Structure 1
Amino acid sequence: MYQPTNAKQITSAVAERLDTLKDEGLALPAHYNAQNALKAAYLRLQTVKDRQGRPALTVCTEPSIANALLDMAIQGLSPAKNQCYFIFAVSKQTPPDKGAFDFEDTDTQYLMKEALEEIKEKQDRFWQVMNGEVEPKHCGKCEYCRSMKELAAFQHVTDIEVD
């Protein structure tokens, strides 16, 4: 497991990075106080937990948290005004991938609405798969699909996908 992260150190590092970016020409929104937003984020980060109840600061890496905070500040958002939310995620892969995410810009909100519509459209099929009424469609990439893969024929070396 990742070692606990000090939120105050991260927010201080992000504040320093913001100062550098401002010196390089970054313009934050008028009347936006990045320091206050980072202090509000510091307080919020103390209470964020993952699904297992573990503090997010113990399961997420410092760079992922710092990038989420930097993005928040560049957009001029503040958790004190409920303008942003932090989602910390850990994948089921071995070893697990981790990340800190925000969903605040217009493009992301549009994509989230679009994804929600797709889920609504496919919800009946999801339930049918979960209840064993229909077979799932195999992606061929996840751990389960790889473990169930049966060789039926040769494939050409140029068909190999590299991520």
Structure 2
Amino acid sequence: MSNSQYKSFLQCEAATMAKINGEWMPPTPEALLFGQYVHAWLEGEQAFDEFKKNTPSLFTQKGQLYKQYQLADLMIEAIQHDDLCMFVLQGEKEVIVTAELFGVPWKGKLDVYNPAGGRFSDLKTARSLRERVWDPEIGYCSFVEAYGYIAQMALYAEIEKRMTGRNEWLEPLIVGVSKEEPPDKAVINIDEGRMEVELEEIEKRMERIIQVKYGGEKPLRCEKCKYCRATNQLNSIIHFSELVS
């Protein structure tokens, strides 16, 4: 299991199992490429050059970023010119952590690992850091809550703790940078109490996920995602009021 796969199961079990079984591969959204560009910079010059080489679709024939991606360079500059951001991003990059958790093996990738400094850090890009985002379960909230980043940081902290045998979590920090001009930035921490709540929720949900992934339970369709739209077969007529249910 991974954090991304866990989140995918929550969104649509059927789509997730189709991806696991190699039956469907979703297209890479533009927002993901945007984030990958910024993360490639974080990994270092060699990784950044390699990413540019492997994603020619981001660049014009003259080797310049297409207009919709040029903001990514401004976001990188905003981080580079901020002492606190650069301090928090000091450490070993792209470190894999593994451990058994809730009855199954898990794997995570830490953007920046600094156990000597008592922390690990994750670089996140977002449309806005301050804008409220709608979440169907909890209503309007921060981008950190809406996109499952608290659960991700809690998982990584627990996996790293179990892997190393340490007694306490490392401090998880998020370096957030916005897709605004000029970009906003922030270094964000998460309290341990909230992380404990997230881990409890994950443990509860894992029973169903394990049954679907390993136990042969039929995965449920969300009927809203790209996979469900692509594979939908109508078998009934619906009332107009059901369209927004």
Relative contact order (C-alpha < 8 Å, sep 6+): which is higher?
2
User: For the superposition of Structure 1 and Structure 2, which TM-score range results when normalised by the shorter chain?
Assistant: 0.3 to 0.5
Q: Which structure has greater strand proportion?
A: 2
